[in-house]
A and B are shown apart, each in its own frame.
Chain A
Amino acid sequence: MRNRAALASALCLAAFPGISVYAGRNNTSDARRFFKQLPNDRKIQQAMNRLTFGPRPGDVQRVKALGLKKWVDRQLHPERTPENPVLETKLRTLDTLTMTGSEMVRNYPTPQTVRQMVQGQIPFPQDPDRRLTIQKLVARAERKQGDLNANADADANAATPLRDLVTPQEARALRTGTSQQRLAAFLALPKDKQDDVLAALPQGARQGLFAHAPPELRRRIEMANGPQQVVARDLMEGKVLRAVYSHRQLSEVLDDFWFNHFNIYLDKGADRYLVTGYERDAIRPHVLGRFRDLLEATAKSPAMLFYLDNWQSVGPDSPAVRGRKNSRGLNENYGRELLELHTLGVDGGYTQKDVTEAARCFTGWTINQPQRGGTFLFNQRVHDDGEKVVLGVKIPAGGGESDGEKVLDLLARHPSTARFISKKLAMRFVADEPPASLVDRMAQTFLKTDGDLRAVMQTMLGSKEFWSEGAYRSKLKSPFEMVVSAVRSLDADVDYAFPLVNQVAQLGEPLYRKQEPTGYSNSSQEWLNSGGLLGRMNFALQLADNRVPGVKVEAARVEAAKVEAAKAGRPDDPAAGIGLGSPEFQKH
């Protein structure tokens, strides 16, 4: 066989000059290492490891030329760096990323929504092409209705059989040969037939066309698979593309961090159409802004209101239910996670009573038309307008919508929140068990600046601890970090990101699909296990051998990596001849 293994082990990231020992548990010698400064070239490496999704070839030199301090400062002010035009072009095809919830619902409807369009309850999309596609779905739905008059869920998939659409020779050509040959056979069909043929092909055959299809055809294949899946796919692919290509790397790392902090599970009902806007409008604009703004943006986002059920929570003594039996009532799900996970932390000093009182404050914070894209709505009729006491602070009766805002004020300025957020950031950026002195200083900045997250990051990035031996390469990459950094290290071109999305999921971190509100752990330990390691090694082999669909690695790049390793005189040194599946590459 070809020397795949040798290739992988020789894949060199000359940018990684050395490694340190993974600190399993804290002890005094570990503590001292946080005060031992890194030499300058390793400082650049540390910045690349923690503030980006891993260096691309040439990145280290570029930072050296610019000056590390200046580079860090630019990353802290992402608006000053023009975005990578390559990224912008690639994102353009993922059109749901810029849509409102209601536009997504109409353009990429579920079978139920298609039925509602037929019944005139929801308007068709305005874009003429899209309208045509949806009308075809409707026609198919009606045909199916006529045929079977049954099973409503299957409507959108009811298609004309392939044999009625193409000749036997054409059908055979669509199913045999290489994927390029099949694609050519497909593109040779008359244009007006193509969508119907897509719908008629078995899903496997349809998927087989994907790898080499141009973006526009891919979208049509996805429409044939099920329009409602497009929204989720765009979201996930967009995340991978940004992480790989963005020039504003710290911004992307922070987006990953804060989405995970305010985690939402994509597959919970209406959230399928709400998470795109949540990340774009509630998370991204605030990751270097004020925590209070970020907190309120999440609290009022329909995605969060839906995910943690607050939209259904009703004041037990509110006007809407007063005197009625068996009506809806209080739901404390959001109230609890707000205190435990979003702000104070589980040891932040609150009681069950505080949870219930906070939940009362948020009654009436609900969603206007959650199934049609959804917007925030305060509904006074279901609000509990009595007096509440949260964390010892009285919230007078009659406050309406402002009750919840007062709770957010209280929480955003609470010392427990400052500590909890600072520690979590330090765990992500510095070490699994960050030094308490650093967390203290970050928390002080948080309190002094009224939760200015950029200032908190500046305190961290101005610290000795961040640039220390103790922090350097002490963390295991998450699956997302591993996959993206591998792609970046080879300067691979990502034409189509979904295979990478699947890869990250297989390694244990399905994007936007952490069901629990805790999000994924920021600790290395979470990702250290045998199945995960094997998965990483296998991915490394596939990527280096150019066999990840949709991703292209230049053979010259792999060769160059080997040559660099040899030139550096370390062809056999595992610290130099790093393969993407090697132990060294799993750390950052």
Chain B
Amino acid sequence: MRIPTPARRGNTRRIFLRNSAVAMVGVGSAPGWLQRALYAAEAPAQRQKILVAIFQRGAADGLNVVVPHGEKAYYNLRPTIAVPRPASASGQREDAAIDLDGFFGLHPSLAPLKPLYDRQHLAIVDAAGSPDPTRSHFDAQDYMESGTPGLKATHDGWMNRALPKARGKVSPVRAISLGPVLPRAMRGDEPAIALQSIDGFQINDGFQINDGFQVPNAEAARAFQEMYTNAKDPALRATGRETFEAVAMLQSIRGQAYTPAAGAQYPRGRFGDNLRQIAQLIKAEVGVEMAFADVAGWDHHVNELGGRASEGQLANLLREFGQALAAFWQDMGDRMEDVVVVTMSEFGRTARENGNRGTDHGHANCMFAMGGTVKGGKVYGQWPGLEPEQLYEGRDLAVTTDFRDVLGELVAQHLGTPSVKGVFPGYVPKFLGLA
């Protein structure tokens, strides 16, 4: 075993700003535009810092995502599904790990992220996870989203608690999740919005289409708004109010074709679509502070990789994942200076492959943090090793960094929330120095 030394960084660290595209947001109908102008007038002059959280549901196999190719035990434990060691400098084999620092390497499907790592905008935290021993997907996701491992009674999520308490007028879309349900991480006292698509986020009758976009039904919208304003059920009343405020806020960007900047190409599928829409919302300057998207399908108990490491279920999913993150980076351009994207998954998988060229539920995993101001180009965390006596309960990578250390630092240092005490009750995050 050895502790990898981080890649050395140069003295002058400059943000690599490519394709400084101006947000291409059309000026829509007057009321929405006015509302945005009003919001902008009351919002702090300083540009808003934004945190985007990505949840990989199903427990991604961190050991095959960030591959400890310098560890002999890794290859012993995984005779058929290990990612081969990086090729020599002469040529990059497409099936081999992409070396990061001589010890860790990225899965070959994550090649689009390597340039970001090299430019020090991507930080990796390895052997990160929850101190709770559960190997239940449901419980582990719940704990990671509530931010309180082991405590089931917590009613709200860490992202909701991390929203700065409102001073004056706040945007109704300050916390926004892409998908049909509001994730646990965003539930709580502060308004948070779930939407499946920007275009569909309005009252329409699914009937009239203009230039490919739905035409809103203003009369019905007013009627519904009144009903929900007067709803006797407090939860429906509150959600109804948040909804109609957000609908008004997004009015000016609906019905506008969106072209990602700098030729960014999001992969096909829900995850790519969702990141594209998050980019669109952020660039529209409607006051987004927190965004959330998830990507499912990481529970690879059988045939995790194909005959080659660049093939098979995990390889395909990672390709989509890496392409989407890279496209988001490219699309956001300069705006990435204010944005950090952080990724997580409920737990890792067994260090040893199981009987079906897959892996079972394990413990520690890896996390990514990507952003203009992230101190990247480095794998953070203490490597616990994969020898039998180093494994957690004799089978899994041990957790050496609490996931709240990473999230807590981003909340405190990036978002600038003065106290993270209330965000992660009962825990004092230890900062790694990546934000």
Interface residues of A (CB under 8 A from B): 1, 4-6, 8-9, 19, 21-22, 24-25, 309, 312-314, 316, 326-333, 336, 340-341, 346, 352, 355, 476, 506-509, 515-518, 524-535, 537-538, 541-542, 545, 547, 574-575, 579, 581-584, 586-587
Contacts and interface: CB of A to CB of B under 8 A. Distances in A.
A148 B53 CA distance: 46
Contacts of A574: 227, 230-232
B239 A22 contact: no
B223 interface: yes
B180 to A, nearest CB: 3
A524 B361 CA distance: 29
18 contacts: A4-B205, A4-B217, A19-B233, A312-B356, A326-B80, A331-B302, A352-B135, A507-B180, A516-B58, A517-B137, A530-B182, A531-B200, A533-B240, A537-B224, A538-B205, A542-B207, A574-B232, A582-B227
A528 B239 contact: yes
Nearest to A340: B136
B235 A534 contact: no
B194 A8 contact: no
The 7 closest A-B pairs by CB, nearest first: A329-B355, A508-B180, A583-B231, A530-B243, A22-B233, A5-B220, A529-B194
A224 to B, nearest CB: 24
Interface string B347-374: 0000000111010110000000000000
Contacts of A515: 58, 296-297
A8 B203 CA distance: 13
Contacts of B233: 19, 21-22, 583, 587
A537 B240 CA distance: 11
A522 to B, nearest CB: 13
Contacts of B80: 326
A575 B227 CA distance: 10
B139 interface: yes
Contact of B194 (A516, A525, A531): A531
B205 A526 contact: no
A327 to B, nearest CB: 8
Contacts of B201: 530-531, 534
B416 interface: no
B83 interface: no
Contact of A333 (B200, B206, B360): B360
Contacts of A582: 224, 227
Given A541-B206, A583-B231, 19 more contacts: A25-B155, A309-B302, A327-B355, A329-B355, A332-B354, A333-B301, A333-B360, A341-B138, A506-B180, A515-B297, A518-B138, A529-B193, A530-B193, A535-B200, A542-B205, A545-B205, A547-B206, A574-B231, A575-B232
Interface in B218-269: 219-224, 227-228, 230-237, 239-240, 242-243, 246-247
Interface string B286-297: 000000000011
A542 B202 CA distance: 14
A584 B228 CA distance: 9
Given A331-B354, A532-B180, A579-B227, A24 B235 contact: yes
- Most chain A CB within 10 A, of B58, B221, B224, B302, is at B224
A527 B181 contact: yes
Interface of B: 57-58, 79-80, 134-139, 155, 179-182, 187, 193-196, 200-207, 217, 219-224, 227-228, 230-237, 239-240, 242-243, 246-247, 296-297, 299, 301-302, 354-356, 358, 360-361, 393
Contacts of B193: 529-531
Contacts of B155: 25
Contacts of B138: 340-341, 346, 516, 518
A359 to B, nearest CB: 9
B137 to A, nearest CB: 6
Nearest to A19: B232
B195 A531 contact: yes
B140 to A, nearest CB: 10
Contact of A331 (B180, B239, B301): B301
A528 B182 contact: yes
B136 A9 contact: no
Nearest to B138: A518
A316 B358 CA distance: 15
Contact of B219 (A1, A355, A518): A1
Given A331-B356, A547-B205, A529 B302 contact: no
- Most chain B CB within 10 A, of A309, A531, A584, is at A531
Contact of B224 (A316, A535, A581): A581
Contact of A22 (B221, B224, B234, B242): B234
Contacts of B181: 508, 526-527, 529, 532
B142 to A, nearest CB: 10
Contacts of B200: 531, 534-535
A316 B355 contact: yes
Nearest to B224: A537
A274 to B, nearest CB: 16
B255 to A, nearest CB: 16
A525 B181 CA distance: 10
Contacts of A508: 179-181
A531 B180 contact: yes
B180 A541 contact: no
Contacts of B219: 1, 4-5
Contacts of A4: 205, 217, 219-220
- Most chain A CB within 10 A, of B222, B240, B360, is at B360
A506 to B, nearest CB: 7
Contacts of B358: 309, 331
A313 B207 contact: no
Contacts of B180: 506-509, 529, 531-532, 535
A479 to B, nearest CB: 8
A26 B227 CA distance: 26
Nearest to B196: A531
Contacts of A530: 182, 193-195, 201, 239, 242-243, 246
Contacts of A517: 137
Contact of A538 (B135, B203, B296, B302): B203
A586 B232 CA distance: 12
A5 B195 contact: no
Contact of A516 (B57, B179, B187): B57
Contacts of B187: 525
Given A528-B182, A541-B217, A8 B223 contact: yes
A6 B358 CA distance: 57
A531 B186 CA distance: 14
Nearest to A355: B135
B236 A538 contact: no
Nearest to B208: A1
Contacts of A575: 232
B202 A534 contact: yes
A527 B194 CA distance: 11
Contacts of B355: 312-314, 316, 327-331
A530 B195 CA distance: 7
A461 B155 CA distance: 30
A77 B10 CA distance: 76
B196 A313 contact: no
A330 B79 CA distance: 15
B137 A516 contact: yes
Contacts of B356: 309, 312-313, 328-329, 331
Contacts of B393: 352
Contacts of A346: 134, 136, 138-139
A329 B243 CA distance: 51
Contact of A9 (B205, B223, B231): B223
A529 B187 CA distance: 9
A217 B223 CA distance: 41
A514 to B, nearest CB: 10
Contacts of A326: 79-80
Contacts of B247: 534
Contact of A5 (B222, B228, B235, B299): B222
A529 B239 contact: yes
B196 A583 contact: no
